[in-house]
Amino acid sequence: MSTSSTGGPAAGTTRVQGSGATGARTTRTFEFAPGEVDRDDPLHGELMELNMGPQHPATHGVLRIKVVLDGEHMVEVEPDVGYLHRGKEKTCESLGWRKFFVHTDRLDYLQPLMNNCAYALALEKLAGMQVPERGQTIRVLLMELSRVMAHLIYLGTTSIDLGAVTMFFFTFSERERIYTLLDAYTGHRMNNTYIRIGGVYADVEPAVEREIRAWLDQFPKKIDEFEKMLTGNRIWFDRNRNIGTLTPEMCKAWSLTGPNLRGSGVEWDLRKKQPYSGYEHYDFEIPVGTIGDCYDRYAVRIEEMRQSVRICQQALDRLEKSRGAEFLEQDRRYVLPPKGLVHTSMEELIHQFKIVTDMALPKGEAYHAVESSKGELGFFLASDGTSHPLRCHIRAPGLMNVQAIPAIAEGRLFSDMVSIIGSLDFVMGEVDR
Amino acid sequence: MSTLERVVEALAGISHTVQKPRDGAVAIEIEASVVPQALAALRDRAGFDTNVFVTAIDRYPAEPRFTVCYSFLSTAHNDRVRVQARIPGEKPHIATITHLWPGTAYSERECYDMFGIVFDGHTGLKRLLMPQGYDHHPLRKDFPHQGIEPDRLYREWDQRRRDRSPLRSESEA
Amino acid sequence: MGSLKPADGHASETGFFVTQVDWVVNWGRKNSLWPMPLGLSCCGIELMAMIGPKFDIARFGAEAARFSPRQCDLMVVAGTLTWKMAEAARLIYDQMPDPKWVIAMGVCSSSGGMYDSYSVVQGVDMILPVDLYVPGCPPRPDAVIDAILKLQKKIEREKPFQLLLDGDVVGEYDSGTKRFLRAPNHGVPTTGSHEVLPPTKPGRGRS
Ligand code: SF4
């Protein structure tokens, strides 16, 4: 039995030719509709079901994908998520507003500080709080470092899946350097939990700033090295170009945001469009792709890393100017008093007790979204005026990225699956929550 | 023209109330029965092309118990709108909007999984995160955080596995 | 060539030959652990960092991570195990050939950790026998390397050849406490159909 694809990078609809048992050739059009494929069609080739995951190196976590194959072509693709469902939203309801911070780190564990920031921003919106400028600048610095970390993992794991094992070591040695910087600043390599309502936990030491600057100065050269290995690489090019093409319309229909949307040529970045944390004061550009295939998404991410370096450098400049300024809003309804004061002042002790045991947020609803490395990461919070949320919904960009797999994978060769999964870029911790 | 004016204009002829949420976003509440028409109007006449999320809020024991929340984004106008509809706790169901935005399929499945809200007309409505065959809807307020028999499905599978294993069955028999 | 049986009338319980064979087998086993990285969540990233350039687990002979359980003898459960995933984890464990060891990396896999919720297994020892627990959320790669060194010490103390002579060791699973009383491990395979050695006691295994 032989099958051949005559389909180009068509949008949602791909043509697959198959020669069936009778020898007659037929052309069928598949559109995404589960259960539409007629398996009893004698003109069709023999269908085979294949299970991928949940423990599979190329699914980047515990994603399971059920694939129906006709020869080497994927006829039906069905992702099965939930293998890492840890009940975060329920946990938020039972733990309360403050204690949930620790859990946000473990959502998208490639960029813990970004999730912290997103949650803090949503809480601040609900509480109606401001963040001091220095606090915002530190957040921007941490968020951009997180973005670089997440994109490095994308590069490393995707290239290892496509056969470029060396890239894994290249990207991980850079990641290790960021880990060391964060270790020096926050005291842990990952899952830092360093953002608080109203700012950050502690100020950046000048020594750490210098270290970050030194790393930033050499990082663009490393990106050049990555590009030297991948951008013009024949194998990388062939396995990514014209694979998994997304049109802007598809992106909007499938709720895709972030680099996946920008790869399709839509200039949409929340940092520019709906700025938060003072992003409007930074000078950076939004890279966009042209045709929206895996290669474009790769190029967008590479360029985003360069832009992140620029933002980090500007943030460091601003930090230098505002050294010694307040970095945490001293609002005693939500922000813990300094430990020294708690030991000496009755009033501050009461504040501390009140915040730790029962920090109530005003009644109402709020939604805030940030531009994470995967797309729009948002927290929808509903409060009934008590210390425990009525509802905390996490708008995970990864779930939407997983959802789009069938739309772009069906009709393609099975070997393209790895490129597609890699380039859509999701993390199961966030997909399953 | 402000976002609210655009939304109200698009919803002409459909009864709705304008809410004032804490974050200052544009939010409206509509009847559950008019959800597909109202959201189609928002998409076609007000330009909200992207669905951001679909979720629900459980207000147990108050009635109507569930609030289904939709959030939409307009990339052309750079603004957002939130739409809510309340449905009772007894056999909760609401019409699907997957024909308008195919990307809401997973959100609706998650809603069904977590709250037990049935989306009429959804092709392939089944659990998304919990295993198929699980009995409860975890995000309901009357479901305990530690769960009810969380390991039941695994134990049943484990028993079948041990029954299959020739060494085990002989030595245990 | 001496007898395979311990020498009679000897002062020590085990004969010289058996001890030497044990030593050689253990030496080989401990220095070429092939890990099966069951990277489930955040800890999996630290596991990758451990294999990666800075920490370089290759120094201890355990860098040959294989994603096929058939080739591995060390299972590193790195991350939160949910009940939905538990079936897959148990299957992977069953598919690994004996002898096999398990490291529970991180508090999630050790005890459920911060997730006391409806979907999370409260410690992988509810479904698998665990040799070593590594605390931390996530544990630093150094801690996992330390665990591997400790596991090597543990392997040194094992007596594979002696067990073979004495008859196999079969694990007991107590469904009352839902725990393993003893690991079904290190000697004769007990599950699956991949026995490499004939059963040494009547009544055990297929006749
Ligand atoms: S122990 Fe911590 S870091 Fe490891 S999987 Fe659990 S939550 Fe993640």
For residue C41, report the distance from its CA to the centre of ligand 1, in Å: 7
Percent of chain B clearing pLDDT 70 (strictly above): 94
Per DSSP, the three-state class of C203 is coil
Per-residue pLDDT of A283-335, as tens digits, reads 888 888 888 888 888 889 999 999 999 999 999 998 888 888 888 888 888 88
H/E segment holding residue C173:
strand C172-174
Residues 286-345 of A with CB under 8 A from B: none
Helix (H, G, I), strand (E, B) or coil at A344: helix
Task: Measure the CA–CA gap between C65 and C103, rounded to whole angstroms.
Answer: 14
Look at residue C174 and tell me whether its pLDDT is greater than 70: no
Sort out which chain C residues have CB atoms less than 8 A from A86's CB and list them. 80, 82, 115, 117, 119-120
Q: Which of C50, C76, C103, C108 is the best mutation target for the ligand 1 pocket, counting ligand atoms within 8 Å of the beta carbon and taking the most?
A: C108
Tell me which DSSP letter residue A347 carries. Answer: H
**Is the CB of C77 inside a 6 Å radius of any atom of ligand 1?**
no
Of the candidates C48, C82, C92, the beta carbon closest to that of A86 is on C82
Mean pLDDT over each residue of chain C, to the nearest integer? 72
The whole-angstrom separation of Cα A376 and Cα A400 is 10
Please report how many Cα atoms fall inside a 13 Å half-sphere around the Cα of residue A73, on the Cβ side: 24
Q: What is the dihedral of CA A410, A411, A416, A417, to 10 degrees?
A: 20
Residue type for position A261: L
C121 Cβ below 6 A of ligand 1: no
Nearest residue in chain B measured CA to CA from A275: B78
Please tell me the predicted confidence (pLDDT) of residue A380: 92
**Burial category of C21 from C-beta neighbours within 10 Å (exposed 0-12, middle 13-18, buried 19 and up):** middle
**Ligand 1 proximity of C184 Cβ (cutoff 6 Å):** no
For the beta carbon of residue A166, count every other beta carbon within 10 angstroms: 10
CATH number for the domain running over A88-432:
1.10.645.10
The three state secondary structure string of chain B is CCHHHHHHHHCCCCCEEEECCCCCCCEEEECHHHHHHHHHHHHHHHCCCEEEEEEEEECCCCCCCEEEEEEEEECCCCEEEEEEEEECCCCCEEECCCCCCHHHHHHHHHHHHHHCCEEECCCCCCCCCCCCCCCCCCCCCCCCCCCCCCCHHHHHHHHHHHHHCHHHHHHHC
* Low-confidence winner among A54-63, A98-107, A138-147, A378-387 (lowest mean pLDDT): A54-63
What is the C-alpha to C-alpha distance for residues B103 and B98, in angstroms, rounded to an integer? 7
pTM of the predicted structure, to 2 decimals? 0.83
Biggest CA pair distance of chain C? 60
Confidence of residue A63 (pLDDT cuts 50, 70, 90): confident
DSSP one-letter string for A57-69 = GGGSSS-EEEEEE
Residue-wise pLDDT tens digits, A37-57? 555 555 556 777 888 878 777
pLDDT for A393 equals 92
pLDDT > 70 in chain A, percent: 89
Ligand 1: centre distance to CA C185 (Å): 27
pLDDT digits (tens, 9 = 90+) for A221-253: 989 988 888 888 888 888 888 888 888 888 888
Mean pLDDT to the nearest integer, B68-92: 88
Token pair belonging to A405:
């797999």
The mean pLDDT value for A72-85 works out to 85
Stretch among A23-37, A255-269, A374-388 having the lowest mean pLDDT:
A23-37
- Please report residues of A whose CB lies closer than 8 A to that of C92: 55
Ligand 1 atom closest to C41 (CA): 5
For B3-143, give the CATH class: alpha beta
Distance from CA of A294 to the nearest CA of C (A): 24
Q: Do A173 and C53 touch (CB under 8 A)?
A: yes
Domain edges within chain A: 1-46, 88-432
* Statement: residue B103 has pLDDT above 70: yes
- Identify which of B58, B105, B145 has the shortest CB distance to residue A94: B145
- For chain C, the structural domain boundaries read 10-182
* Mean per-residue pLDDT, C64-88: 85
Q: What is the pLDDT of residue C14?
A: 55
* Domain locations along chain B: 3-143
The arithmetic mean of pLDDT across residues C69-93, rounded, is 86
Distance, CA of A15 to CA of A30 (rounded, Å) = 7
Q: Name the neighbours of A, counting chains with at least 3 Cβ pairs within 8 A.
A: B, C
Spacing, Cα C66 to ligand 1 middle (Å):
22
Q: How many CB atoms lie within 10 A of CB A238?
A: 13
Which of residues A15 and C71 earns the better pLDDT score? C71
CATH architecture of C10-182: 3-Layer(aba) Sandwich (3.40)
The residue of chain C nearest to residue A431, with distances taken between CA atoms, is C41
pLDDT in the model for residue B158: 79
Q: With beta carbons under 8 A apart, name residues in chain B contacting A87.
A: 138, 145
Integer Cα distance of A227 and A221 in angstroms: 10
Name the residue of chain A whose CA is nearest to B138's CA: A90
Closest atom of ligand 1 relative to the C114 alpha carbon:
7
Positive or negative, the Cα torsion across C70, C71, C75, C77?
negative
- Cα(C42) to ligand 1 centroid in Å equals 5
pLDDT at A92 over 70: yes
Query: What is this model's ipTM?
Result: 0.88
Q: Across-strand partners of A189?
A: none
How high does pLDDT run on average in chain A?
82
